[in-house]
Copies of this chain bind each other. A is one copy, B any other.
Amino acid sequence: MIENSYYTHEHHGEYELVSIGELQLEEGGVIPDCQLAVATFGELNAARDNAILVSTWYSGTHQIWRDAYIGPGHALDPSTYFIVVVDQIGNGLSTSPHNATGANAGIAMSGFPHVRIGDDVVAQERLLREHFGIETLQLVTGGSMGAQQTYEWAVRFPEKVERAAPIAGTAQNTPHDFLFTKALIDTITCDPGFAGGEYTSHEQVVDGLERHAGIWAVVGFSTEYFKTEAWRSLGFETVEQFMEQFLEPYFTAMDPNDLLTMAWKWQRGDVARHTGGDLAAALGRITAKTFVMPISEDMFFPVRDCAAEQALVPGSQLRVIDDVAGHLGLFGVSAGYMPQVDALLSELLATPA
């Protein structure tokens, strides 16, 4: 375990750490004491049937959902729903390489086992059932890797998911995304300060993390985002400022091993693991009312790929979010993004299950 002040209540506000006990992983490893960071909003009703589950994306935490997506006036309204945001394993708040200690000391840092999307979903289901007594979900949603988890939920536990809204992500990771993620991984592992994952401070890998941010800028936004200088809406006056004061600090605060754990998981997201590689059969299991919600300018989860999967989900609808920001529009950087998401999620939530 190493210190990293980013992964604290000071930076992430209120959240609870809930142990779900030992978690056997699909790849054969074990997390002896799997702790999930959970932030909840609203109240669970007496029937325990007003819950919404949100999962997190690569590098993300519950924080962005709390700040941008959840609250009065949003579709995710705590006055109606009990909204549970579960930080994914390896994101630095839930059990992760950098914070493995106590019973998890044996899997710290470079010793952390491979975790799959399915492991997260199994852990989340156990958390909801054992800790909250929740057996059905009004909605499962998430962006990017959160979309991967959303699809995994809808395929693995179809009877528990009334509605699903995978945003800007796929059920089966694409070969292009595998290469993109590899390029992201390489920025970290090639840094001499990474030391095979046994650095003593994430600051020793700052160069790698800055390069990581650099690749995110190229593929995570869109050509048009930079062409139109849309970053000005965030208060920056030059693209250099945007990088040095926004995207680079975002990543250089993070733990390299944690990012790598998520990257490995992202690369291998695939619901067809349930059906011997048959994606149509896997997606055909979904009974949730589903809105597939890609972002128009997404360069690596393009609308085309999302639409191809949507066509395999029974009764689903393709609802494209128009945003020049591309994939990282997920952060709500464009003024037009959240109103579209809210309208779509509200419509979906109003659809009888």
A residues engaging B (CB < 8 A)?
174-180, 182-183, 186-187, 190-192, 207-208, 211, 214-215, 217-219, 221-227, 229, 239, 243, 299-300, 302, 304-305
Q: Please tell me which one of the listed residues B175, B190, B224 contacts residue A304 in the complex, with CB atoms under 8 A apart.
A: B224
A190-B191, A192-B192, A219-B219 are known contacts. Are A176 and B227 too (CB-CB below 8 A)?
Answer: yes
A223-B300, A304-B224 are known contacts. Are A186 and B174 too (CB-CB below 8 A)?
Answer: no
Q: Please tell me which one of the listed residues B186, B227, B239 contacts residue A305 in the complex, with CB atoms under 8 A apart.
A: B227
A174 touches B226 (CB 8 A): yes
B186 touches A217 (CB 8 A): no
A176 touches B223 (CB 8 A): yes
A191-B190, A239-B175, A299-B299 are known contacts. Are A183 and B218 too (CB-CB below 8 A)?
Answer: yes
Copies in the complex: 2
A211 touches B183 (CB 8 A): yes
Smallest Cβ-Cβ distance to A208: which chain B residue:
B190
Residues of chain B contacted by A217 (CB below 8 angstroms) = 179, 183
Residues of chain B contacted by A299 (CB below 8 angstroms) = 223, 299
Residues of chain B contacted by A219 (CB below 8 angstroms) = 218-219
A214 touches B179 (CB 8 A): yes
Give the shortest distance, in Å, between A224 (CB) and chain B (any CB): 7
B218 touches A190 (CB 8 A): no
Give Cα A80 to B176, complex, Å. Answer: 42
Choose among A174, A190, A225, A243 the residue with the greatest number of B CB atoms under 10 Å from its CB: A190
A175 touches B211 (CB 8 A): no
Give Cα A179 to B176, complex, Å. Answer: 20
B180 touches A218 (CB 8 A): yes
Nearest 9 Cβ contacts at the A-B interface: A175-B226, A176-B226, A176-B223, A180-B218, A183-B214, A179-B217, A186-B211, A179-B218, A183-B215
Give Cα A243 to B175, complex, Å. Answer: 12
